[in-house]
A and B are shown apart, each in its own frame.
Chain A
């Protein structure tokens, strides 16, 4: 099975940077995903890491260390619209995705 931990809540100021950490213990690993979910909406795909290192996509970056079972999502130049839940998810060898409980990020003016 999968054990995925991430902080419950984070608060940051508009224009700042926030880093959301995710640690995982898995029985099989075939990639790590980050999803964004606004309140009352469906999750949407943000990033995917399968090899160690940093993946950058605009204001969002995601990092993976497989040996440490660790990932982070970095949100730069925060905007009010970035207020949402961010879900860390690990895929196993059968392509099933297990999710952490999510981190609610609140961006304040």
Chain B
């Protein structure tokens, strides 16, 4: 049982470099999300996609882009990384039952130097 798979698990990156965090789900959920989690700030929504082919901006979208070419993949790209993007990034999908709970990946820890 995989659920949500994120890669890489951890990465150290030089400022100014481009980085793509990968996210793949095998639950065939329509909606997917990217959050970042920082100490004292909790989880903040970066971008989301309600269905394949559509994306939307969350609370903190600047410096990030996403694409949703198919139902299962939802990559997050940092075009030119900055130290303030050091964080733990969680990808999630929304279940299709009444509760619509989120299922999270294990997270990608990114350090930008």
User: Using a CB–CB distance below 8 Å, which chain A residues touch chain B?
Assistant: 1, 31, 33, 35, 41-45, 48, 87, 89, 91, 94-102
Contact = CB atoms under 8 A, between A and B. Distances in A.
A45 B97 CA distance: 13
Contacts of A35: 102
A97 B43 CA distance: 10
A33 to B, nearest CB: 7
Interface of B: 31, 33, 35, 40-45, 48, 50, 58-59, 90, 94, 99-107
Given A87-B42, A99-B42, A41 B100 contact: no
Nearest to A85: B42
Pick the 10 closest A-B CB pairs, nearest first.
Answer: A101-B42, A42-B104, A99-B43, A45-B101, A48-B99, A99-B42, A43-B104, A42-B106, A102-B42, A100-B42
Contacts of A91: 100
B101 A33 contact: yes
B12 to A, nearest CB: 17
B91 to A, nearest CB: 10
A96 B45 contact: yes
A40 B99 CA distance: 26
